[in-house]
Amino acid sequence: MLAMLTRKQHELICFIHDRLAETGVSPSFEEMKEALDLKSKSGVHRLISALEERGFLRRLANRARALEVVKMPERAERKPAAAASAPVAAPARAPARAVPIAANDVVEIPLHGRIAAGVPIEAMESDRMLSVPAALLGTGDHYALEVSGDSMVEAGILDGDYALIRRTDIARDGEIVVALVDDAEATLKYFRREGSMVRLDPANRAYDPQRYAPDQVRIQGKLAGLLRRYH
């Protein structure tokens, strides 16, 4: 139903559906941004994630980038005021048909820079975007951070890699998270609970675990994937 979606979400699902029906290929993020008059492509990504969570869009895991329109909201057409009381014939219903699937293989997510001591994630906001194979991402809102240092090398995370992070403020034991310590230092570590304390474990035997009171640590997201560029 239309009431389930915001106006922008409704506009986007209709735009994607119409483009798929016309060409069999979904519009680019730039086209979607311009069609909806958004300021950035990250806004498009957030809308797509919201539509996916509400069951209107689906990403197919067996293809690198496949968007499927699962269902459509009701299209509420506004009647002219003068004709509001005039009887209107119901439009003929088109026969049901399968909705085409787009095979785009890349999505753009915000790139917030290098994860470094003394810089909260909120301070890393920028207009930079990183093109990422959609197969590396699941549902939800994502951002990318450039890894600095060697504290996670034994987990295969190297200096200069791009960590793909799903935004969340909760974590389970053993997950790799972006943790903000004392609202000052952002770090990428394994998250564990140890009695009444929170322990942040590096993946490098040269470094010691870090222990904090729970109110000292805020989860900023958890690792969803890793991107490496070879030079």
Residue 167 lies in a domain: yes
Inform me whether the pLDDT recorded for 65 exceeds 50. no
Q: Which residues are catalytic?
A: 151, 189
- Domain containing 67 equals 6-74
The mean pLDDT of the chain is 76
pLDDT of residue 133: 79
Dihedral angle computed from the Cα positions of residues 117, 120, 126 and 131, in that order, rounded to the nearest 10 degrees = 70
- Residue 112: closest CA among 104, 124, 120: 124
Inform me whether the pLDDT recorded for 194 exceeds 90. yes
Burial (CB count <10 Å: 0-12, 13-18, 19+), residue 75: exposed
Distance CA 219, CA 200 (A): 11
Are 45 and 123 found together in one domain? no
Question: Which CATH number fits the domain that encloses residue 177?
Answer: 2.10.109.10
Are 143 and 215 found together in one domain? yes
- Of 32-46, 57-71, 208-222, minimum mean pLDDT range: 57-71
Are 115 and 222 found together in one domain? yes
**Number of structural domains the chain divides into:** 2
Inform me whether the pLDDT recorded for 1 exceeds 70. no
Are 201 and 133 found together in one domain? yes
Residue 98 lies in a domain: no
Are 133 and 203 found together in one domain? yes
Nearby residues of 63 by Cβ (< 8 Å), 6 or more positions away: 101, 103
Are 67 and 116 found together in one domain? no
Residue 86 lies in a domain: no
Residue 54 lies in a domain: yes
- Residue 217: closest CA among 202, 194, 190, 199: 199
Q: 13 near 51, Cβ under 8 Å?
A: yes
Spell out where the chain has E strands.
57-59, 67-69, 106-114, 129-133, 142-146, 162-166, 176-181, 185-194, 197-201, 210-212, 217-227
Are 42 and 122 found together in one domain? no
Are 113 and 215 found together in one domain? yes
pLDDT of residue 155: 93
pLDDT of residue 85: 40
Looking at 28, 54, 74, which one is the last position of a domain?
74
Render pLDDT for 104-163 as a digit per residue (tens, 0 to 9). 467 888 888 777 544 445 545 566 888 887 777 877 888 899 888 888 999 999 988 999
Token readout for 131 is 């093109």
